[in-house]
Structure formats: structure tokens, C-alpha cells
Structure 1
Amino acid sequence: MTTENKSIVARALAGLVDTGDVDTLASFLSEDFIHHRSDSTTSTRTQWLAAVRAALGPTAGMRVDILHLLADGDHVVVHSRRRLPDAGPEIVVVDVLRIADRAIVEAWEVIEPAAHATANGTWWNPAV
């Protein structure tokens, strides 16, 4: 199951990363897909796909490099680095995707601006 789920996510992301093909990604999402962000907001399949099209579609130009693709049971973790065109800001993203019935049914996303990584690494230390 773990290998199959990892393969589902890899196929879903392949066209998106290479060409901005959001339709292939959409074909791997369940109709009741839900996306969660670390600020406690959620979006539906339709809302999330519209946001992905705006950021990653062929005319948007965001570059995505997948650094790690890990799976355990029905969850797949994607660790990526994303850059806007023209030397725009860079972010590091961790997505946790839940797979059921050969479809992505739920996703959680954590985003950190790369420029803030050092400061965010010591958030717990009030002396810094």
C-alpha cells in the first residue's frame, strides 16, 4: 500500500512540476478532497485547484523542486522548495497527503519562507 500510494502522488505531481499541468493533478483528487493550511483555513477541491492553477499554471511560472517523497501507510509526505520567477521569494513546503481508494482525499500544507528559516529555528528560545 505504501509503495502504491507514493506512486499515486508521484504521478499526480509529475505533470504539475514539469509543465504546470493542473488537470492531471485534479484527476488524482477525490471529489470530496479537502486541503488544510497551518493557519487553520481549509479549502475544497475546487477552491484549492483554482489556487494551484494561479500559482503553478503554465503562465504563473513558479518553479517546484521536490526534495523528498516519503510514504507510510495511507499518508505520503512531499518536501519541496518553490521559487517565484525573476528571483522572487523562495519557500519550503511540506505537504502531507492522505490516500484512500487510490485517490488523494486530504492534504495538510506547511509553508516556511526560506529567508525566515534561521529565525524560525529558534522561535522557542526567548533569549534569541
Structure 2
Amino acid sequence: MLLKSFAVAAFAAVALTAVAHAGTSKPAREAVQQHELTQKNKALVLKAYQALFGDHDLTALDRYWAENYIQHNPTMTDGRDSVKQLLESLGVAHWPKQKVDLKRVIAEGDLVMTEVVQPKQGQSPETVIVDIFRVENGKIAEHWDVMQPVPANPTNKRPMY
């Protein structure tokens, strides 16, 4: 009888554990899917960023940016052709290739944020750039950015990046 009571108690404990875990399996599965999507979007943005801004490959726009790309930079218009025209006017295709110096990358779901330092070029100072990209259907669909020149004589001596 004692063995039977033990078996019933053990079965009840296993059943309760299964019920408790069944209630959390969907949220756990969704968390895993969210993490996988985040990693996929982060990898896409990093690959696209290096291709366009490091390798100066303008065809990267066709591969990684959505045709109806939304631009929040007030000096540019929407669409990947606007980015292409700007970069062509700067002569970026003739610049030497370089490894993009990513200082920070933060990603969650469909949003990926990068922080890079653009080295001093000619008269333009070293500039810290923060880009935020929204990814949709495997393409960069939307973009925000903030650019700040690094001052020659800063009051605060800590680096900006």
C-alpha cells in the first residue's frame, strides 16, 4: 500500500510539473524565436553596413535595403536610390576599402543600433555616428541616425565612444 501511495504521489508530482511547464512552453518558444530573429537581423545589418560603408559596394543597397526604404535623416529622401545618389556624389566607390570600426551594436527584435567612428577626412573632423535600422522581411526597411563631430578641444576628456 505504501508503494502504491508513493507511486500515486510521484505521478501527481510529474503531472503537476508537466502542467506547469506546459504553461510556459509557448512563452519560452516565443522568447527563443525572438532571440533568433534578433540575431538574424543583427547579422544582416552588420553584413550590410560593412558591404556599403566599409567595402563601398553600392550594389549592397539592392541586396540589403528595401526598395521603399524609409529615411528619417532630414537631409535625405526615402528610398535606397537616395542613398546611392548621395554616396555616388561623394565618390565613395573610389575610396579605399576598410573594416568598419563598430564601437557598439545593440539589437532587439527588428531594431539594430550601431555606433561607429568615422575617421577625420580632409576638412571634416572625426565623427561619431549612431545608426538605428529597422529590419522587415530580411531587408533594412527604415533608418534613423545621429552624427556628432568629435571636438578638437573637448571640456570632458573622456572619449565619446
TM-score where L is the length of structure 1? 0.75
Query: In proportion to residue count, which structure has more helix?
Result: 2
Shift of the 90–61 alpha-carbon distance from structure 1 to 2, 3 Å rule, reads farther
Number of the residue aligned with 1:57: 92
Q: In structure 1, the residue corresponding to 2:49 is in which secondary structure?
A: helix
Distance 1:87 1:11, change over 3 A: same
Gaps of 5+ in 2: 1-36, 156-161
Unaligned runs of 5+ in 1: 120-128
Task: Tell me which of 82, 85, 106 is aligned to 1:47.
Answer: 82
CA RMSD of aligned residues (A): 2.8
Q: Which amino acid aligns with 2:78?
A: T
Equivalent residue for 1:68? 104
User: Could you state the TM-score of these two structures normalised by the residue count of structure 2?
Assistant: 0.62
Tell me what 2:56 maps to. 20
1:8 is paired with a residue whose SS is helix
In 1: Cα distance, 2:85 partner to 2:76 partner: 14
Change (3 A) 1:101 1:10: same
User: CA 1:114–1:58 in structure 2 vs 1: closer, same or farther (change >3 Å)?
Assistant: same
Aligned sequence identity (%): 25
Three-state SS of the structure 2 residue aligned to 1:115 is coil
The offset of 1:60, in angstroms, is: 4.2
- In the alignment, is the contact (CA less than 8 A) between 1:55 and 1:62 conserved in 2? no
Highest RCO, 1 vs 2 (Cα 8 Å, sep ≥ 6) = 1
Q: Is the 8 A contact 1:56 1:62 kept in 2?
A: no
**C-alpha distance 106-58 of structure 1, shift in aligned 2 (>3 A):** same
Question: What is the identity, as a one-letter code, of the residue corresponding to 2:140?
Answer: I
| Corresponding position of 1:83 | 119
The structure that is strand-richer by fraction is 1
